Amino acid sequence: GQQLNQSPQSMFIQEGEDVSMNCTSSSIFNTWLWYKQDPGEGPVLLIALYKAGELTSNGRLTAQFGITRKDSFLNISASIPSDVGIYFCAGITSGTYKYIFGTGTRLKVLA
């Protein structure tokens, strides 16, 4: 089935650094979602984006809906140890309710 490409697959960063990750698709999407998953738990919805160019923040997290509608970006500012986890993007095209999920970016923060 169709999948989204998330980049990078994993990253190690120092505490206090800013983090950027992205998600790309071959299809045009109408909505983008970003989730975080901690070990042994279910994903938690962080941010939802509904319009091309939209920029939305949730605390230290900022996500953007790409102008081409084929990509989305997530930035984390001043990372802290509890930011560790897997970040997933999900997108949906028009005419369907079935979100496609990316394969995730695994973030590890070094104190």
Beta bridge partners of 17: none
Contact 47, 34 (CB under 8 A): yes
By the rule CB under 8 A, 103 interacts with another protein: yes
Which residues make Cβ contacts (< 8 Å) with residue 77, sequence separation at least 6?
Answer: 18, 60, 61, 62
By the rule CB under 8 A, 102 interacts with another protein: yes
By the rule CB under 8 A, 56 interacts with another protein: no
By the rule CB under 8 A, 44 interacts with another protein: yes
Residues contributing to the site for another protein (CB under 8 A): 1, 3-4, 31, 33, 40-45, 48, 88, 90, 92, 96-104
